[in-house]
A and B are shown apart, each in its own frame.
Chain A
Amino acid sequence: MLLEAPRFALPETLGEALAARAERPEAVVVAGGTEVMPDLLWRNRTAAGFLSLRRVAALRGTATDGGELVIGAGTPVAALTTAPDGGLRAAASSLGTPLVRTEATIGGNVVSALPYRNLLPTLLASGATLELTSATGTRVVPFDGFVTAPGVTGLREGELLTAVRLPVHVGFADYAKVGRRNAQFVATVSAAVVSRDGVARLAFGNAGPTPLRSDAVDTAATALLDGRATPADLRATVAAAVDPPEDTVASAEYRRHALGVLAVRLVTRAAVDAGLGS
């Protein structure tokens, strides 16, 4: 342990981090600090202490394992701006600013689990899985279903998210979001697409309380991809599938419309990439 105080723990190894997690269940797990520090400043949350993962080098970095890209949970978003996955690359590149991306981590983005987080639709569209590790071992769960409510996940007591696994696919993947301005904006709504072998899969952010996808949307997106349906068909299917929030940023009606626009935009890009569009 690099540093230990009654309300602060700074482990250097995963073993130390898991031991500290078990000993300090009330502590906020903090990696980059890019969300937690503003939250404390604005009194959006209180914290009984920090368990910082910043110095656990084993959590940083990416590797390939069989057909999967394995991204350590402590990997900074900046490192994902050159990822082989186009969706991850686009979502990472439009997160915060360069000075935020060096600190923000993929693990923090996933575990904070808010509907507008950039990386979440990309992980859902690509069929990502998560490695959740506790003192008793590691379990691998689908990202689909991991977020159960805004800010709430299936992470159990004593567990840490240690890695995100993405299938490495030959195909097209992209991400798009809209916000209230063109610089440094949080997603009012967002969408991600993965298209391979003529099949499109979409996922949405801020389209409901948790990251959202549906078989009906993917069927309509695939039909648009190969010219059997129109953009209006996909927009209508998306509008029926989503349940977006209504808040001071945007109305549910605006979000429902914008989600359809993003869906068509991404499927059109996929069609162009596949040589199917103009």
Chain B
Amino acid sequence: MSAVENPRTDVAGGTDGADGSVTFGLTVDGTAHEVTARWDESLLTVLRDRLGVRGPKTGCAHGRCGACAVRADLGDGGHVLCACLVPAATAAGGTVETIASIGGPDGALSDVQEAFLAEGAVQCGICTAGFVTAATELLETNPDPTRPEIEAALYGNLCRCTGYGRIIAAVETAARTRRGATS
């Protein structure tokens, strides 16, 4: 486990005394970790600053921008959520899949990622992992989404570069490609 020794103390909650720690198991992208964190630390802080998992990004840190979106199963079947809003220790024994689980090994891109590249849906990139995560979840539950359905599914992800048009086009392209590949 590649731990970062001095996690930022300004990301969630305040500082704590010696009894402020919690130790729990967490599986991230298929790797089991034993995590020791402050009791009030967010899942995002644990992922990025304690485990060195940098796919989820710190954007707004309060659930508005979706840059930290990951797929997580915290004992309720699994869904995409904002890692910044989840007290990390409530994920004890759970599994988290970040953008690293969406792409293939050795940097291979998923069909959704390829579509984002092909459509020019990536500029600065800080929102991209979150958008791809939300879009991938959408296409798994709804393989042929309408434009309003795409917009609704991506409502929790903000992009300050693209104006969203290229991102929506990318999701439409990914859906079309995926339907073509399976029909």
Contact = CB atoms under 8 A, between A and B. Distances in A.
Contacts of B89: 3, 5, 8, 10, 50, 52
Interface string B61-74: 11110100100001
A6 B90 contact: no
Given A99-B80, A184-B155, A33 B39 contact: no
Contacts of B75: 54-55, 57
Nearest to A99: B156
Contact of A38 (B14, B62, B81): B62
Interface residues of A, number: 37
Given A5-B39, A97-B64, A33 B85 contact: yes
A100 B156 contact: yes
A2 B91 CA distance: 10
A98 interface: yes
B131 to A, nearest CB: 11
Contacts of B20: 6-7
B139 interface: no
Contact of B155 (A5, A10, A55, A183): A183
A49 B64 contact: no
A150 to B, nearest CB: 20
Contact of B152 (A5, A40, A47, A98): A98
A272 to B, nearest CB: 23
Interface string B150-176: 001101110000000000000000000
Contacts of B82: 99-100, 103
A99 B81 contact: yes
A98 B153 contact: yes
B90 A33 contact: yes
B13 A52 contact: no
A46 interface: yes
Given A8-B39, A41-B61, A97 B156 contact: yes
Interface residues of B, number: 41
A102 interface: yes
User: Which of the listed residues A57, A103, A183 has the most CB atoms from chain B within 10 Å of its own CB?
Assistant: A103
Contacts of A30: 87, 90
Given A2-B93, A5-B22, A50 B155 contact: no
Given A97-B63, A98-B153, A40 B81 contact: no
A231 interface: no
A42 B14 CA distance: 10
A153 to B, nearest CB: 22
A36 B86 CA distance: 10
Contacts of A99: 63, 66, 69, 80-82, 134, 156-157
Contact of A3 (B22, B62, B156): B22
A98 B65 CA distance: 11
User: Which of the listed residues B12, B13, B84 has the most CB atoms from chain A within 10 Å of its own CB?
Assistant: B13
Contacts of A102: 79-81
Interface of A: 2-3, 5-8, 10, 30, 32-34, 36-38, 40-43, 46-47, 49-50, 52, 54-55, 57, 60, 78, 96-100, 102-103, 183-184
Please name the 9 residue pairs, one residue from A and one from B, whose CB atoms are nearest each other, closest first. A97-B156, A99-B156, A38-B62, A6-B19, A8-B39, A7-B39, A54-B90, A52-B90, A5-B22
Interface of B: 11-14, 16, 19-24, 39-40, 42, 61-64, 66, 69, 74-76, 79-82, 84-87, 89-90, 92-93, 134, 152-153, 155-157
